[in-house]
């Protein structure tokens, strides 16, 4: 899947919503087995319930890796449940020396057939390039993250321009908007206007709305571009909208609500 | 396993050698099946052949992930083959927001029982801290990496002091040498003297000797401290020393040779 198809999907569904399938056994609702089969059943129900509003699903690999090879199998099986018209993202934050990054790229783009994968920039060009070589896939590089620790290096006042701006500027010269995106935390919505001056065209994957406190409307006001250019991720507030037997219906309602919140910004794209 | 035990092991074996089990199906020698069982048989033979000289084994997760959940299972089974007195490292370069990094820490330290894991610093304190909380385990943070792309951000001339020095300085204040180490590429041996001024006590994991061109002797001359303070990794030059039926014996010879090269620097510790 390529960015053009994602843009069509955004227009059709009038939604920037990316649903994070960060599924934790200890938070599974009543009536779902507390094991990897339960995670799969839960993910299936959530996908089914939210697919009319979601233009993307994002799976954070940590949630699956903590369960060992059984968890990894659950990650693979969940990937297979995501409909082809909806962008599948492995939120893996990988990155290594060139020949090793090639293997990560194969792991996510070929072995598991994800449409996109998140990548950490610290190791530079040859750690990112093997992902970009898959020109029918999408590489999403960390720019400015949503967590407190982003101050330690990304916005460390020791550096002017701040590191994240150098990352955005440099990495955006390595790939076109057709197969390169950036992660920018919603908790940094005020920075989005400046970020759009550095990367006017690339899509931004925006985590941090909901549980982490970011505002989706502010993200749209400051971050939207002519193609939309946004994927707004929400995980916990959707998938754990209810911990009762109505969890899927509650997730659907919450997804609808979040999509509606930003619908005005998807019109006239 | 803690750093004190590693120091004892270095003294006893007179070796800083870390053997990288970066096993690639396409490079398995004659007589070994070209599947995940073959990888496991190969890893077992390499561990058996090199354990008298190795003070650590490092498994780069990319090599296993590219094979999907079967590969992940092979990673788990290989971990179990590493003797308890030898430091096991998952070279995973993980890092995410706090609650997600906690899951990665559990994945490697608990589910798979690795002694150590490599972590990427870009996301700052709350992405590293969940690993450091395992005070009986070792967190190894990327400092200055061995690849060309290290120039893009780590040593970008735009920043003075260079980013990697800020990373070393800041991260070293987050944890003691007992459970925190840094990755510094052997291809950057000249930088090691300056690095030792920033982190005099912490151990350094040094990849890049052999196939990548770094010199183990130069690493010792510039990087050794009062505890040794070095783990010198070699992967391809050991595990693929021969692609014939004598691969294990050839690996043993190469491991012995590499250990002997730096033996003088392990005396009087």
pLDDT in tens, A239-265: 999 999 999 999 999 999 999 999 999
| CB-nearest partner of A124 from B70, B110, B151 | B151
Q: Give me the CATH number covering residue B228.
A: 3.20.20.70
Torsion of CA A206, A211, A212, A216, to 10 degrees: 40
Q: Measured between beta carbons, which residues in chain B are less than 8 angstroms from residue A104?
A: 62, 65-66
Asked whether this complex has an ipTM greater than 0.90, the answer is yes
Whether the pLDDT of residue A213 is over 80: the answer is no
Q: Measured between beta carbons, which residues in chain A are less than 8 angstroms from residue B127?
A: 147, 149
Share of chain A above pLDDT 90, in %: 93
Whether the pLDDT of residue A212 is over 90: the answer is no
pLDDT per position as a tens digit, A132-161: 999 999 999 999 998 999 999 999 999 999
| CB-nearest partner of A100 from B60, B71, B150 | B60
Using the Cβ of A66 and the Cβ atoms of chain B, whether some distance falls under 8 Å is answered with yes
Tell me, what's the pLDDT at A187?
Answer: 80
The dihedrals phi and psi of A205, each to the nearest 5 degrees, come to -95, 120
Residues linked to residue A118 through DSSP beta bridges, in sequence order: A140
Check B163 against A167: CB less than 8 A apart: no
pLDDT digit string (tens) for chain B, length 269 residues: 889 999 999 999 999 999 999 999 999 999 999 999 999 999 999 999 999 999 999 999 999 999 999 999 999 999 999 999 999 999 999 999 999 999 999 999 999 999 999 999 999 999 999 999 999 999 999 999 989 999 999 999 999 999 999 999 999 999 999 999 999 998 877 799 999 999 999 999 999 887 677 889 999 999 999 999 999 999 999 999 999 999 999 999 999 999 999 999 999 88
Tell me, what's the pLDDT at A208?
Answer: 83
Our count of domains for chain A comes to: 1
Whether the pLDDT of residue A93 is over 90: the answer is yes
Which of B92, B153, B212, B236 to probe by mutation at the A interface, max A CB count within 10 Å?
Answer: B153
Tell me, what's the pLDDT at B214?
Answer: 80
Considering only residues 125 to 154 of chain A, which have any Cβ-Cβ distance to chain B shorter than 8 Å? 125-128, 142, 145-154
Using the Cβ of B122 and the Cβ atoms of chain A, whether some distance falls under 8 Å is answered with yes
Tell me, what's the pLDDT at A230?
Answer: 98
Using the Cβ of A266 and the Cβ atoms of chain B, whether some distance falls under 8 Å is answered with no
Tell me, what's the pLDDT at A186?
Answer: 82
Check A93 against B98: CB less than 8 A apart: no
Whether the pLDDT of residue A188 is over 80: the answer is no
Q: Measured between beta carbons, which residues in chain A are less than 8 angstroms from residue B70?
A: 69
Q: The domain containing residue B239 runs over which residues? A: 3-266
Using the Cβ of A159 and the Cβ atoms of chain B, whether some distance falls under 8 Å is answered with yes
Q: What is the DSSP string of chain B?
A: --HHHHHHHHHHHT--EEEE----GGGPPTTS-SSHHHHHHHHHHHHHHHTTT-SEEEEEHHHHHTTHHHHHHHHHHHHHHS-TTSEEEEEEEE--SHHHHHHHHIIIIIIS--SEEEE--TT-HHHHHHHHT-TTSEEEEEEE-SSGGGGTTTT-TTSSS-HHHHHHHHHHTTS-TTTEEEEE-GGGGGGHHHHHHH-SSSEEEE--BSTT-B-HHHHHHHH-BTTB-EEEEE-HHHHTS-SSTTHHHHHHHHHHHHHHHHGGGGTT-
Whether the pLDDT of residue A78 is over 80: the answer is yes
CA dist A77 and B6 (Å) reads 40
Using the Cβ of B51 and the Cβ atoms of chain A, whether some distance falls under 8 Å is answered with no
Tell me, what's the pLDDT at B1?
Answer: 83
Answer for the pair B123, B94: CB distance below 8 angstroms, yes or no.
no
Mean pLDDT of A18-37: 97
Global pTM reads 0.97
CA dist A67 and A74 (Å) reads 9
Of all residues in chain B, the one with the smallest CA distance to A61 is B104
């Amino acid at each position: 899947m390529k960015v053009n198809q994602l843009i069509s999907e955004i227009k059709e569904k009038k939604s920037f919503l990316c649903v994070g399938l960060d599924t934790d056994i200890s938070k599974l609702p009543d009536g779902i087995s507390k094991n990897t089969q339960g995670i799969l059943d839960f993910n299936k129900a959530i996908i089914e319930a939210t697919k009319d509003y979601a233009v993307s699903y994002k799976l954070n690999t940590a949630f699956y890796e903590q369960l060992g090879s059984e968890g990894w199998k659950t990650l693979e099986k969940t990937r297979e449940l995501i409909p082809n018209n909806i962008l599948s993202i492995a939120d893996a934050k990988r990155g290594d020396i060139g020949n090793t990054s090639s293997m990560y790229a194969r792991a996510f783009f070929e072995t598991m057939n994800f449409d996109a994968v998140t990548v950490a920039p610290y190791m530079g060009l040859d750690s990112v390039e093997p992902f970009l070589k898959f020109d029918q896939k999408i590489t999403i590089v960390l720019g400015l993250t949503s967590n407190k620790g982003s101050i330690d290096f990304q916005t460390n006042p020791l550096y002017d321009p701040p590191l994240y701006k150098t990352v955005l500027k440099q990495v955006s010269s390595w790939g076109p908007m057709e197969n390169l995106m950036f992660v920018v935390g919603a908790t940094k919505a005020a920075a989005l206007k400046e970020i759009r001056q550095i990367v006017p065209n690339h899509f931004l994957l925006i985590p941090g709305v909901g549980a982490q406190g970011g505002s989706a409307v502010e993200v749209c006001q400051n971050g939207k571009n002519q193609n939309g250019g946004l994927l707004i991720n929400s995980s916990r507030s959707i998938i754990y909208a209810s911990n009762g037997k109505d969890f899927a219906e509650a997730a659907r309602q919450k997804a609808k609500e979040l999509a509606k919140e930003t619908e005005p910004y998807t019109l006239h794209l």
